[in-house]
Structures are given as structure tokens and as C-alpha cells.
Structure 1
Amino acid sequence: MDLSFTGFLGELLENPALLVTTLFTLGVIFVNGWTDAPNAIATCVTTRCLSARNAIIMSAFFNFLGVFIMTQINSSVASTISNMVDFGDSTQNALVALCAALLSIVIYSVGASIFGIPTSESHSLIAGLSGAAIAIQHGTGGINGAEWVKVLYGLVLSLVLGFGTGWVVCKIISFICRDMDRRRTNRFFGFAQIAGAAAMSFMHGAQDGQKFIGVLFLGAAFAHGQNSVSGMEIPVWLMLLCSVVMALGTSVGGEKIIKSVGMDMVKLERYQGFAADVSGALCLLYSSLFGIPVSTTHTKTSAIMGVGAVKRISAINFGVVKDMVLTWIFTFPGCGLISFIMAKIFMYIF
């Protein structure tokens, strides 16, 4: 398959199945930018270190770098997503199931975003792929248990490691700066937090960018009658396209998520925002290097809770936390069920 920009564009015009799959995947990336990417810049915007517009531009640039650089170092996150499920030998049915999974993510995520609740597109993707695989294989035979274990590890890591790292980093910063002039430290952490938000955006691209590019490659393989994505190299133009589409999503609908994560959950000062960004980025770096797909939403929000707990547990708005946790809990059964139903409907129609 020709993966040059002109070659791929030509194939889109000639292959309707590939065109639909690509549009659905870009739609999911757009929704990811709408409901997930704002987590990376939420604290930076709400502490007034950057305007929302400048933060979005910066986020798009570092998302691209995250995809580009981490794919060269370790592309196993994309491989994990591609290998999680087996859609069977029929590539046409597999393509139908994949499209159903992508559509279920859009439906579920847009529904949650109406209420300003940040969803995890990572876990929506996993739930959608699994629901579609169960529908097409008429059972759990299409689920790769070994790859699912990595997902469960990632869920625990993103919550526990995020909270713990946020608490430790904030404690260290508080200790170091305890006798310093408050105005000087605020000025320093204003610039430091921009760097922290850039690091979070970089790692968001490294995690989520790889996941969705992996899905797009899987769809492209199915559209060409292939069951495997082995041997395919990710072209730079595709990384850039994903980053731009993600940034567009953030600019269109990210304000509610930024407010929920950066203001409503915990009232943050600049040094706390920096601690949360650094903690989240460190957790995502660790997970990416070991090929474990984790949720950037879970990692960042748990890091913010860890930072807030340094002063006192009551600093955390548990009403907002409860809404987020309930959304996360319902992601697997909710998105999986939507995907299962859509896959059955698509198989009947097509």
C-alpha cells in the first residue's frame, strides 16, 4: 500500500471503504482533541500562564513532536492497540466492526462532553474495539487477553501512579520553595508551567497519537484485504494531520473540560499546576516506554488530586471527582455496548 500523501489520497478516492474508515478515525481524533487533549493544557490556562488560543497552538505542536519522536523510540503502544482484538478472517466484516467501534467512541464522548465531563478516549477505544470484536465473533473469542492485561495495568498505573507522583512532586516543590519570595516563585512557575504543559502535550501525542494512528493503519489494512499491519511505517504527514485535527477539536470544544479539570476539581496555584503537569508527563513517559496504553485523562486528573491532597484532602472537590469516576466506570460497558449494537446493525446493512 502506498503511504505517501498523494498515493494515500488517490486510494481514498478509489476505495470508499478506506475513505469511510479514515473519516471515522479523524472524527475520533477530533473528539479526542475536544474531550481529552484539553487535560494537557487545563492547569496552564486556568492559572493564566497562557491564553487558551496560545495554549492550543502550543499543544498541537508538541502533540506532533510526541507522536513523531516516541514512534521512533518505541511504537509498541500502537502495536498493543492493533493486537488487542481479532476480527476474524473476513476483512470486510472486520472493517465494518472497526467503523462501528469508532462511531461508538464519538457517540459516547460527545454525550459526556455535553456535561463537561472529561472522558478517556483511550478506554473508549479499547471498549469499542472489544464490543465490536464480540459482535463479529459471536463471543469473546476475538479478545486477546494478554493485551487486555496491559490495559488493566495501565488503568491502575494512571490512577495510583498519577496521584502518588503528584503528591510527592508537590511536596518536594513546597519544601524547596518554603523560604522563597512568593512573587518571584510565582513568576518562575508561570514560565515553568508552560514548559510543564508542553511536556504533557508531548506525552499526550506519544500515547493517544500512537493509539489512533494504529487504528487508522488497521483500517487501511482491512480496506486492502490484509489482516496485519506489520511492516507499515508511519509517515510524517499522517502524524502532522493527526496533530492538526486534534488541535481543531480542542479549539472548538475544550473550554468546559479545561474548567472542570483546571478549576472545578481543585483550586490550583501556579506551583501546584506545574507539579501536576510534571507528574502527569512523567507517568505517561514511563508508560509509553514500556508500551502500556494508559489514559492521559486519568493520569492528569489523578495527579491534580494528588497535588491538592498535599494541603488537605478537603481541597479536592469530590463532587466533580465522583462525576468523572462514574463516567470512567461506565466507559467500558457503555461504549462497548454501543459498539456491539452498531456492529450488529452495520453487519446487517452491509
Structure 2
Amino acid sequence: MIEKAPVTRKQTLDKDLTKIIQVEQATSILSRNLIAPGLGLLFLAFAGILASFYVGANASMVIIVSAAAIGAYMALNIGANDVANNVGPAVGAKALTMTGALIIAAVFESSGALIAGGDVVDTISKGIIAPEAVADPSNFVLAMMAALLSSALWVNLATWIGAPVSTTHAVVGGVVGAGIAAAGFSAVNWPLMGNIALSWVVSPVIGGIAAALVLAFIKTTIIYQDDKIASARRWLPLLIATMAASFSTYLVTKGLGNLVHLKGSALLAVAVTSFVVVWAISHVHVRKQSAGMQNRNQSLRKLFNIPLVISAALLSFAHGANDVANAVGPLAAIVAVAQSDNVSSHVEIPLWVMLIGAFGISLGLLLFGPKLIQMVGDQITKLNQMRAFCVALSAAVTVIVASWLGLPVSSTHTAIGAIFGVGFFREWYTANSKRRKTYLARRMTENGNHIEKDEKEERPLSAEEIVHRKLVRRAHVMTIAAAWVTTVPISAILSAFIFYVLRMVS
């Protein structure tokens, strides 16, 4: 008798267990995606509770609590979007890990906001809307709430599509839209708006040109020299000292402008002192760190790590000091008007309002910041330590020089423009530099047509490769440029719509 082979069937229990496991895994993935929004909502609730605690039960409590939640929402979005420009290049260059960048940015953003965030803020956003145009307290409160909510919604959308935008421009657009809805077109300071529009072009162009010039200098004086290490010892301390002088001036005039007031010779003395002190320290440090290094580009990059980390921290501090006003300025104005029933051109910022702005920016960075940080640092163009250093240095120098010349610039647009400048310059340099071609040809001759791993991207390219090789992703260029151009008008339109809705329901 022939025995039949046993039929192997998967038991029903096993099938059910497998399905249960799959459902649990899917649920776990979905729940992880909901953690960040859930924590964000908890922070909004906390902001409202904090506001009610300080304000107490009175007729204006509902308005102030609502405004506090909207201000907290704006602070979260500032952290999610705007902070990426400060730490993104260092992360893309692998001078900082994502975790390290988040910690450094969160600490220094909060410190900048709380230490140097300022205690006085213009309620009508630096003269964009004439105060007498919205002198009615109820209209003013609705206008500020509409401006705050519209700008927060736009920055949130920009973060979702992966576009770093200027939160200052978003707030300006919100104020303009609400002001027009409340008092008509004549209430807007249109010459000032013209300067802001000019900054859309001026900021990225100047930042890009400055970054390209710095990268050209580094390539000429260090990278394509026979003795790279000796050249780095000579020039790198000067570059670091220049960045230090720029940052010290930037911090004194922008980040610490509410604590110290220096102008003219005093400001120049700060810059010169910073330059000399940092040059002396970095001269010793670079010489010590470069001892025994191989004469390779990979070795050079390590020398830029510490300056990049320091620049990320300083930029975060200055950003926290400056841009916290985008979240707490309109909120502070709403609180002051709701409590006094009187519109003032300047208001004091209560400590609890500043806490909402400071910790909201840090929380938004920790919960939602990695997406934009990754995009800024890695997806626009490939950054290494030297290129990221060019971005940091050019951004600081551009903002300072533009301030001296009275040119309107955006730090966000300047930093992103610098990244574009680095990428486009590399495209041009790869195709046209005789120095690069001569250097690489000599290197390949000396090494038997072999070049080291970190020089492969600099190898001579054929005409077809040059056509197809794009070092800047064009899709990001178009997305970011479109977001920049539309930030003010979309924020304005949205703000006007929200203002009308609020006035109808109030």
C-alpha cells in the first residue's frame, strides 16, 4: 500500500496570530506618527491654561486664552521651519548628528529668546500698519489674531511641502492682510512693503554670491594647493576669525540688541577684538589638530567641524532672540489691549508670554524640525564641512554688511541662497576651472590615473556628463522660490479672510 504524503496546512490559529501581529505593527507605526501632533496639541492646551492662570477670570479671558493657543501654534511652526537654516548645513556636512543638532538648537534657541528676546515690541509690526488705522481695540485684537493664525497656517503648510520660508515675512503678510481688511489699503505703509519685497531678491542673491566667493577662495588657497595642510594652517584661522567677528557683531546688533546698545567705534572695537582673539586661539588649535594629518581633502574637512558646531549654536541663539517676537509680539499686543482696552504703539512682553514663545520654538524644533533640517542640509545640494562653513560665514557676513548699508535682507533667504550659491558655483567650477583641471590632471599622472576617494567628484568630466550632472536639485529651487514669493500675499489673503470670519462670529 502506498502511503499518502501528509498534507501540510497552516493552522487557522497561526493565520489569526499572524494577522493580529500585522495589525499591531501597523497600529504601532500609526501611533508613532501621531505622537508629535499629540504633544503639539498638549502644548497648545498648556499655553491656554498658563494664560488663564496669569490672567484670571475676567471678560477678556476667552480672548487671551485663544490668543495664547494661537501664539503657541505659531511658535511650534517657527521651530519646525525656521530653525533648520541654523543647523541644517552642519547636519548635512556631518559635523553634527541630527540628535546633537536638535539639542544644541533647542538649548540655544530657548536661551536666546529668554535672555535677549526683548521686553518691548512694536504692536503693528514695525510700522507696516498705521496705529491710528486700527485704533478700535476690538478691531485691533481681531486683526492681530488673524495675522498670527494666518502666518502660522502658512508656515505649517510650507513645512509640510518642505520649503524653508521667512516667518517674519509670513507675519508681515498677516499684518498687512488684516490691516487692509480692518482699515483699507491706505492703512498700509507701501514703501516699507516695497523694501520687504526687495529682500526676496536681495537676500538670496547676496548670500549666494558671498558663499560662492568664499568657496572659490577656499578652493584656490587650500584645496588645490600641493601642501593642503600648510595652506590650511595659514588661511583657516583667518577665515574662522572673520566668522567670529561677523557673529560677534551680529549678536551685539541683532541677538543682544535689547540688552546692549553699541554703535560706531564701539561696535568696530567688538569686531576687531573678536577677530584678533579668535585668530590667536584658532591658529594654535588648527596647528595642533592638523599635526600628523595626511595631505588629503578628507583630512581638511575635519578642521572645519568645531567652527561649524559653534556657528550653529550662535545662529540658534541669535535666531531665538530675534524671531521669538514673531510668535509673542502679536500675542503680547493682544494681551495688553484686551486688558487695558486701549491700543498702544508699544507693549511690554509678560514673562509667561515669552515662555510660550521660547519653549514653543524649541518643542516645534524637536517634534517637527528634522524634516526641514534634512532638506536644508542634504537635499538641496551635497554639503561637506568646507561648503557648510562657506554657508555659515557668508550668511553672517551678508546680514551684517546689509544692515550697515541699509539693505533689507532675510536671514532665512540669505542662508538658503548661500546653499544655492555653493551648489551652482560647484557646477560652474567643475565645467570651467582651469586650475581644477590642471590640478587633477597632475594628481592622476602622479598616481597612475588614480585619485583618492574624496576627489572622485572632482574628476574631469566629459561634455555629456557635465550636461547631465546637476549639483543643485532644480525641483527644490522652484519649490522654495515659489514659497518665498507667495509667502506675503498668501498670508495677507488668508489673514483678511480670517479677520472677516472672526468679526462675523464675534
TM-score range, shorter chain: 0.7 to 0.9
Q: Percent identity?
A: 25
CA shift in 2, pair 1:205/1:42, >3 Å: same
Alignment pair present for 1:84 and 2:84: no
State the match for 1:61 in structure 2: 107
> Quick check: 1:60–1:243 contact (8 Å CA) kept in 2?
no
State the match for 1:32 in structure 2: 78
State the match for 1:216 in structure 2: 331
Letter in 1 for 2:179: A
Q: 2:474 aligns with which of 318, 334, 339?
A: 318
Q: Name the stretch that deviates more: 238-247 or 15-24.
A: 238-247
Alpha-carbon distance in 2 for matches of 1:82, 1:133 = 13
Alpha-carbon distance in 2 for matches of 1:135, 1:7 = 28
Query: Shift of the alpha carbon at 1:287?
Result: 5.7
Query: Shift of the alpha carbon at 1:293?
Result: 6.8
Which aligned pairs between 1:234-253 and structure 2 lie closer than 5 A? Answer: 234=349, 238-239=353-354, 241-253=356-368
Instruction: Describe the SS at the equivalent of 1:271.
Output: helix
Which aligned pairs between 1:117-266 and structure 2 lie closer than 5 A? Answer: 117-137=163-183, 139-178=184-223, 179-180=228-229, 181=295, 182-224=297-339, 225-230=341-346, 232-234=347-349, 238-239=353-354, 241-266=356-381
Q: Name the stretch that deviates more: 9-18 or 103-112.
A: 9-18
CA shift in 2, pair 1:271/1:79, >3 Å: farther
Alpha-carbon distance in 2 for matches of 1:222, 1:47 = 47
State the match for 2:142 in structure 1: 96
Question: Larger Rg: 1 or 2?
Answer: 2
Alpha-carbon distance in 2 for matches of 1:174, 1:25 = 45
Query: Shift of the alpha carbon at 1:113?
Result: 2.2
Alpha-carbon distance in 1 for matches of 2:332, 2:186 = 23
Query: Shift of the alpha carbon at 1:150?
Result: 4.2
Letter in 2 for 1:62: F
> Quick check: 1:36–1:119 contact (8 Å CA) kept in 2?
yes
Q: Name the stretch that deviates more: 128-137 or 274-283.
A: 274-283
> Quick check: 1:25–1:102 contact (8 Å CA) kept in 2?
yes
CA shift in 2, pair 1:164/1:242, >3 Å: same
> Quick check: 1:203–1:284 contact (8 Å CA) kept in 2?
no
Superposed CA offset, 1:210-250 (max 9, x none): 333332332223223232243x4556665454232111111
> Quick check: 1:62–1:202 contact (8 Å CA) kept in 2?
yes
State the match for 2:498 in structure 1: 342
> Quick check: 2:212–2:422 contact (8 Å CA) kept in 1?
yes
Letter in 2 for 1:331: T
> Quick check: 1:150–1:293 contact (8 Å CA) kept in 2?
yes
Instruction: Describe the SS at the equivalent of 2:342.
Output: coil
* Count of paired positions: 341
CA RMSD of aligned residues (A): 2.9
> Quick check: 1:37–1:204 contact (8 Å CA) kept in 2?
yes
Q: Name the stretch that deviates more: 220-229 or 7-16.
A: 7-16
Letter in 1 for 2:146: A
Scaled by the length of structure 2, what TM-score is found? 0.61
CA shift in 2, pair 1:291/1:249, >3 Å: farther
State the match for 2:91 in structure 1: 45
Query: Shift of the alpha carbon at 1:198?
Result: 1.7
Scaled by the length of structure 1, what TM-score is found? 0.86
Alpha-carbon distance in 1 for matches of 2:190, 2:56 = 34
CA shift in 2, pair 1:200/1:307, >3 Å: farther
Q: 1:114 aligns with which of 136, 152, 160?
A: 160
CA shift in 2, pair 1:69/1:31, >3 Å: same
